A and B are shown apart, each in its own frame.
Chain A
């Protein structure tokens, strides 16, 4: 009975109530959205690389090494000499080692030189291997495998020629040695999607006629001649390592970190990811705090509307009283109305969240490589919604108590 009354009363004040519901809904959607992005980003981060036990690069910081070797953000402070790489590769603890060479680009995408072992050992999302959407692993010197996003945004297909630019943001391009797309990888949601992969030898080959960052004028080595040359790399940027047994991970890591011939750094990807997340996590907490404040603001807004409605509804309350409603019933009515409003807001928020997710998911995925799974609401989200409704009820108690006191004293005559 009181429920029907509350619902009817809300409907009667449709516009104001609608606005309040919208405000709560938006704030709830924002909060859940931030939460979604937060957990999605964290999972996406942790899923970027798996199955690799150590990453080796020039000595810098673990986060920096992780950033440039895995996320292709920033640059290496130094390269690792090929000799050191060979030294490492021959160690008995090593099950597999994959070299990586960075520094060139194709349009806005980074070019990475590596070996075909990369496709075998690089794993993401808990042990998933890279899959080919089309084509095969590079076979010829000038073959390249491109990530999904590269193919999508540049419209490349298998067999298309591409030109690799020297350096990152430079306009000088390695025009003489056009590469050919031999394969396109499946979408992974990792930085591999935005990478052009060539062989280690190809990285050497494109730099044959270059010295100190500029072309040697008038000199072009024909492609046939390049194929005859010794294209053993002189340096690599980093290497991914798998160890024979986890028990050897730490001793190998120490051996690399204390390698006397060259200052090297070996990191545990999982630990470095955690460290990186620790840095990013501060912004994440701030974001979460802001979205909580928005929810609180919306609830206070609701309280304000209830307060202002009390005056308008003074006569209504008096009539309820005259018809035999107890002051407690008045209190209950107002709280119930608030609960209904907050619940409607929460449901609307959830709806907005999923609507937003459906629209934004592919955009966020392609723009930021951040995959936000569209799952049915989990217990955590249900708890958040419940908390919003409960907070709505608590907040509404203040105006409701006022109405309770007024309804004790007020007569049917509205004094003005």
Chain B
């Protein structure tokens, strides 16, 4: 139901916004996405995880605890080697790491502008007053943490296994859908909480 809500709201709001392109990414609580691209010694990774997985809520941070939780999560997400543990033999070091909390419409940087949208439990009531708004479906209020990493591995051939301490750090995350691209092709894996390792042999 949670996933249908934004779609329904977009449908309600549509007559007023007939000329815009409307799009929403799918959003499933408990399931994040991790993309890994490897070329030579460079490993590029991007993580998309629902706010619910990382901090346990997806409304805009109001209390200082909420904000602290988000800050702590961003700080944790910015240390990729502690979340995705690579074998020591691969000699991986972090070249660049960034993490941020983004709301669903990342294209228009209006996050934080909608303070009046306080109670997201009765968001249907807000529909009408939002028609004049240039934005739409803000009520959905799904948030995602996005992180991007670049690693440099002295011996990428030794990347035989990745251990996902990620699930230990974020108690609400159930699953990561991992896609890996190397020179030899692309492959998809599902890494779940109860078996948090990824076997990369055969990808090189």
Known: A268-B186, A271-B187, A275-B188. A250 touches B35 (CB 8 A): yes
Interface locus among B119-127, B134-142, B162-170, B177-185:
B177-185
* CA–CA, A275 and B107, complex, Å: 30
How far, in angstroms, from A53 to B37 measured CA to CA in the complex?
A: 12
Interface: B21 (CB within 8 A) = yes
- Tell me whether A249 and B181 are in contact (CB under 8 A): yes
Interface size class of B (residues with CB under 8 A): 10 to 19
Q: Of the candidates A53, A258, A260, A275, which one forms a contact with B181 in the assembled complex, judged by CB atoms under 8 Å apart?
A: A53
Quick check: is B118 within 8 A (CB to CB) of the other chain?
no
A323: interface (CB < 8 Å): no
Which residues of chain A have C-beta atoms less than 8 A from B181's C-beta? 53, 246, 249-250, 268
Question: For the complex, is B199 an interface residue (Cβ under 8 Å from A)?
Answer: no
Q: Which of B10-18, B39-47, B50-58, B96-104 contacts A (4 or more CB under 8 A)?
A: B39-47
Question: Is the CB of A229 closer than 8 A to any CB of chain B?
Answer: no
Kindly state whether residue A25 has any CB partner on chain B within 8 Å.
no
B21, B39, B188: the one within 8 Å of A271 (CB):
B188
Q: Is the CB of B186 within 8 A of A247?
A: no
* Given the contacts A270-B186, A270-B187, A274-B187, A260 and B179 also touching, CB distance less than 8 Å: no
Note all chain A residues with C-beta closer than 8 A to B38: 246
Q: Mark B1-44, 1 if CB is under 8 A from A, else 0.
A: 00000000000000000000101000000000001011100101
- Residue pairs across A and B with Cβ atoms less than 8 A apart, 24 shown, are A50-B185, A53-B186, A246-B37, A246-B38, A246-B39, A246-B181, A246-B183, A247-B42, A247-B44, A248-B37, A249-B37, A249-B186, A250-B37, A250-B46, A250-B181, A258-B23, A258-B107, A268-B179, A268-B186, A268-B188, A269-B185, A270-B185, A270-B188, A274-B188
Q: How large is the interface on A (under 10, 10 to 19, 20 to 34, 35 or more residues)?
A: 10 to 19
Within 8 A of A (CB), among B149-204: 179, 181-183, 185-188
List the B residue with the shortest CB-CB distance to A243: B181
**CB-defined contacts of B107 to chain A, threshold 8 Å:** 258
A residues near B37, Cβ cutoff 8 Å: 246-250
Q: How far is the CA of A280 from the CA of B179 in the complex (A)?
A: 21
CB contacts (< 8 Å) of A274 on chain B: these are 187-188
0/1 string, A243-285, CB within 8 A of B gives 1:
0011111100000001010000000111100110000000000
- In the assembled complex, the Cα of A114 lies from the Cα of B32 at a distance in Å of 38
Q: How far is the CB of A308 from chain B (nearest CB, A)?
A: 49
How far does the Cβ of A45 sit from chain B's closest Cβ, in whole Å?
13
- Binary CB contact string for chain A from 219 to 254 against chain B (1 if under 8 A, 0 otherwise): 000000000000000000000000001111110000
- Residue of A246, A247, A274 contacting most chain B CB atoms (<10 Å): A246
A50-B185, A249-B186, A250-B37 given; A271·B179 CB < 8 A: yes
Residues of chain B from 80 to 116 with CB closer than 8 A to chain A in the complex: 107
Residue with the greatest number of chain B CB neighbours at <10 A, chosen from A53, A260, A270:
A270
User: 1/0 per position for A28-56, CB-CB distance to B under 8 A?
Assistant: 00000000000000000000001001000
In whole Å, how far is B147's beta carbon from the nearest beta carbon of chain A? Answer: 13
User: What is the bound-complex CA distance between A269 and B44, given in angstroms?
Assistant: 20
Extra 19 A-B pairs, beta carbons < 8 Å, given A245-B39, A250-B179: A50-B185, A53-B181, A53-B186, A246-B181, A246-B183, A249-B181, A250-B35, A250-B181, A258-B23, A258-B107, A260-B21, A268-B186, A268-B188, A269-B186, A270-B185, A270-B187, A270-B188, A271-B186, A274-B187
